């Protein structure tokens, strides 16, 4: 079964879904918080530890990005998703339960890098989730 957006019964696939992840020794309340914090230097990340994912996204738009952000952002997201959907965890098992369905981060806010808006987009988040699902399947065999 294909999943075309990460809300409602599929909200757990969203980076806003509450789940503890660690980035550079700090624990964040969601993948979104950790990802947005990763955009800035460690000494400026405390505010990302205590805010909502939506607030983290807004804060992340205001930070100065490091010169190599575009080269590292996908790998950072991949590492955060590996934690969220780790083997043997509830969320890892839920990801496995999507079988071979296509996962699409459908959105209306014009994010065509991480998702798809109005049929246009790279769906990078969906591809990373499907890659993690494949790794989970391989770990079972």
Domain residue extents for the chain:
8-140
- Separation CA 20–CA 83 (nearest Å): 9
Residue 49: pLDDT above 90?
yes
Q: Which long-range contacts (CB under 8 A, 24 or more apart) does 131-134 make?
A: 131/78, 132/78, 132/81, 132/82, 132/85, 132/95, 133/85, 133/95, 133/96, 133/98, 133/103
Mean pLDDT of the chain: 96
The pLDDT value recorded for residue 133 is 98
Q: How confident is the model at residue 67 (pLDDT cuts 50, 70, 90)?
A: confident
Nearest Cα to 50, choosing from 24, 19, 29?
Answer: 29
In this prediction, what percent of the chain has a pLDDT beyond 70? 100
- Whole-number Cα distances in Å, 25 to 22, 60, 122: 6, 19, 31
Residue 104: pLDDT above 90?
yes
> What average pLDDT does range 96-110 have in this prediction?
97
Q: Which CATH class is domain 8-140?
A: mainly alpha
> What average pLDDT does range 96-124 have in this prediction?
97
> What average pLDDT does range 43-71 have in this prediction?
94
């Amino acid at each position: 079964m294909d999943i075309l957006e990460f809300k409602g019964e599929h909200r757990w696939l969203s980076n806003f879904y509450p789940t503890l992840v660690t980035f550079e020794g700090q624990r964040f309340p969601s993948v979104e918080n950790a990802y947005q914090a990763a955009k800035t230097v460690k000494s400026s990340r405390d505010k990302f530890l205590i805010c909502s994912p939506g607030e983290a996204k807004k804060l992340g738009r205001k930070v100065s990005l490091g010169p190599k952000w575009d080269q590292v952002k996908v790998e950072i997201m991949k590492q955060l998703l590996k934690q969220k959907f780790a083997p043997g965890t509830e969320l890892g098992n839920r990801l496995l339960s999507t079988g071979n369905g296509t996962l699409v981060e459908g959105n209306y806010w014009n994010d065509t890098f991480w998702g798809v808006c109005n049929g246009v987009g790279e769906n990078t988040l969906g591809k990373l989730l499907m890659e993690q699902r494949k790794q989970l399947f391989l770990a079972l065999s």
